[in-house]
Amino acid sequence: MKPSVRPVEKPVSPVVYVVDDDISVREALSSLIRSAGLRVETFSSAREFLGQSSSSAASCLVLDVRLPDQNGLALQRELAAIDNQIPIIFITGHGDIPMSVRAMKAGAMEFLTKPFHDQELLEAIHQAIKQDTESKAQSLKTTELRNRYETLTQREREVMGLVVRGLLNKQVASELGTSEITVKIQRGKVMQKMRAGSLAELVHMAETLGIIRG
């Protein structure tokens, strides 16, 4: 029998979400974004957008400030409350400086007042997609590190915590009331389970996990 070959998972292509209650604006933006080779999904309200299933794809949100059910700034706050960190590009025909300041302070990528240049929006979208791609990659890396850390025993975690703070094996042994040879063995298991090639790499992992501050 031939060994079964696991299919290679294709990376999910980025998607741009557009939320605007004006159908002509949705259609125009959809056409523009597709012309740049990007996937796009459109919604007429905040509720409709929140009701869609989540995706692992890198994404950004092109969001009208004025919507029929709740304004874009309220949706921004709601997304932040549920820890949805999707980059947001606000568009509006009725913007003012205080409104744009609030949006940017709350983490918006861009605040564009209609009419804006197509290229201006596309550049903001590409920047937002890049940011979300990097953010998701970092999040995936952190999750993988947490999974590795979960495989450590309680004593191995204690050893790791002391080692990454710069303590030598004999100092760790003294701190934990055990022998230096035992610490050496446990330290080796920590390096193996965390897949760390060096102490410096283990320290970086500890910083990523928040065990120590960088």
Span 177-194, average pLDDT: 97
Residue 102: per-residue pLDDT: 85
CA 50 to chain centre: 18
- Model confidence at 3: pLDDT above 60: no
pLDDT in tens, 84-119: 999 999 998 876 778 888 888 888 999 998 889 999
Task: Write down the H helix ranges in 22-176.
Answer: 23-35, 46-50, 72-81, 97-105, 118-150, 154-163, 169-176
DSSP state of 91: E
* Residue 113 · residue 93 · CB < 8 Å: yes
Task: Give percent above pLDDT 70 in the chain.
Answer: 94
- What average pLDDT score do residues 39-65 get? 92
Q: 40 in helix, strand or coil?
A: strand
Cβ–Cβ under 8 Å, residues 214 and 207: yes
Is 109 exposed, middle or buried (CB count within 10 Å of its CB: 0-12, 13-18, 19+)? buried
Average pLDDT over residues 125-152: 95
pLDDT at residue 6, rounded to an integer? 46
Q: Tell me the backbone φ, ψ of residue 40, rounded to 5 degrees.
A: -145, 140
pLDDT in tens, 162-175: 999 999 999 999 99
Provide the whole-model pTM: 0.77
Tell me what pLDDT residue 4 has: 45
Asked if residue 103 lies in contact with residue 74, where contact means CB atoms within 8 angstroms, the answer is: no
Determine the pLDDT at residue 7. 45
What does the pLDDT look like over 73-84, one tens digit per residue?
A: 999 999 999 999
Question: Residue 213, SS3?
Answer: coil
d(CA 46, CA 49): 5
Question: What token pair was written down for 115?
Answer: 């009419």
**In this predicted structure, what is the pLDDT of residue 11?**
59
